[in-house]
Chain A
């Protein structure tokens, strides 16, 4: 059984926009997959269907054999506990310190604070922020803030890490650092990573699997792929 199976999937929004059309895609455990394409081609929509923010209009999205679209609203949280999600806008809580922001994810699922501490410290170590635990988000650079988000996403040791343009707000040098962090997580922890981006430089350097969307349609799927810079990107 493949880890992620997307079968003939369509997403049509209420306003009639078809964001994903007849998408079929499989991802194995431990893979690192880029989803690329021009702005508005449906990357975020695909990501949202993975964490069940949106349901497929037609077809199926299976993660670990579970049909995500069929989950009831009140059981979605069970899926979310097995995922890590990272966004372009960091979504950190400004009044909490780095440590508290990461611990928040575990508090939310009702873990004991005794168990929370070692997990948070380990996650912060993975992203190289162990010496900034007491800082507040406003005292960090963009790259550091994004690393806090990654730490929060992996703190519960998810099998799948989903990133929607995690480097979208960062300069090239910082983006590179973030990619190194993600690559290490993928290699050391075996976490499957699906990352949407339109940063061709990153994609070309990383030499990972690349899936190209065009107007919601899968047009290319390369192992160790690269991505030509087209005008629309």
Chain B
């Protein structure tokens, strides 16, 4: 994995989505979204949100749906 941050964040989001993938689809999406909201700092969330908005290349379906529903990041 490169340290190029978009690619890394996509990888991380997919890892989280995979961990919850055994749950029913909607539950997995919510769990992934909650996890990201709870543990990712605002600049990471802003980046992944922008990436998803730009098509979300590489994001798994659960991860994509989770990120799309993240609440907007407030300014510091």
Report if A and B associate in a common complex.
no
- Residues of A whose CB lies within 8 Å of any CB of B are none
Name B's A-contacting residues (CB within 8 A). none
